[in-house]
């Protein structure tokens, strides 16, 4: 039993190296899962943008129709100022669509960037786990070398 005691340190170092490596793998998996979620959120944002544009188009068409009917109902022809109002409304609507699309793309890009960052964090976590494992294994090797130099085993 007493001859096995010197080997406890190196054995524990090997166990710690295995644990560090597994922790690194686990943290990488978590980061990759976070990346997948962020990508799914980006896809959802793209669909939300499409929905918002469609909803805006529907509201705009209703507004434009109401304006047109009100103009005709008042006895004014669709020419001159009345036509300019409808044209201005259409131009403003196009601008609003562009703003909705731009904001949606910015939000989508932000989520994709979160996904990329999560993957980078995962790679870093994996590398840190490997580095810690190498450090523990180096410590075990150093202990064994010291024990050999002290003549503890032949």
CA nearest to 12, candidates 132, 127, 139, 131: 139
Indicate the domain borders of the chain: 5-149
pTM value is: 0.75
Cα–Cα distance, 50 to 100 (Å, whole number): 9
Contact, 104 vs 44, CB < 8 A?
A: no
Q: What is the pLDDT of residues 10-60, one digit of tens each?
A: 788 888 888 998 999 999 999 999 999 999 999 999 999 999 999 999 999
Q: Which residue has 């039993």 as its token pair?
A: 1
- Residue-wise pLDDT for 84-133, tens only, equals 999 999 999 999 999 999 999 999 999 999 999 999 999 999 999 999 99
């Amino acid at each position: 039993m007493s001859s096995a005691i010197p080997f406890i340190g190196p054995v524990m170092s090997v166990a710690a190296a295995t644990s560090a490596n597994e922790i690194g793998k686990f943290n990488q998996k978590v980061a990759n899962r976070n990346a997948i979620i962020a990508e799914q959120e980006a896809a959802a944002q793209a669909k939300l943008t499409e929905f918002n544009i469609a909803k805006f188009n529907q509201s705009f068409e209703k507004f434009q129709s109401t304006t047109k009917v009100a103009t005709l109902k008042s006895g004014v022809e669709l020419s001159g100022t009345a036509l300019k109002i409808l044209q201005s409304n259409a131009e403003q609507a196009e601008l609003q669509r562009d703003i909705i699309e731009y904001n949606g793309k910015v939000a989508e890009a932000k989520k994709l960037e979160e996904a990329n960052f999560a993957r980078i964090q995962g790679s870093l976590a994996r590398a840190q786990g490997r580095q810690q494992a190498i450090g523990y294994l180096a410590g075990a090797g150093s202990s064994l070398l010291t024990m050999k130099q002290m003549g503890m085993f032949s």
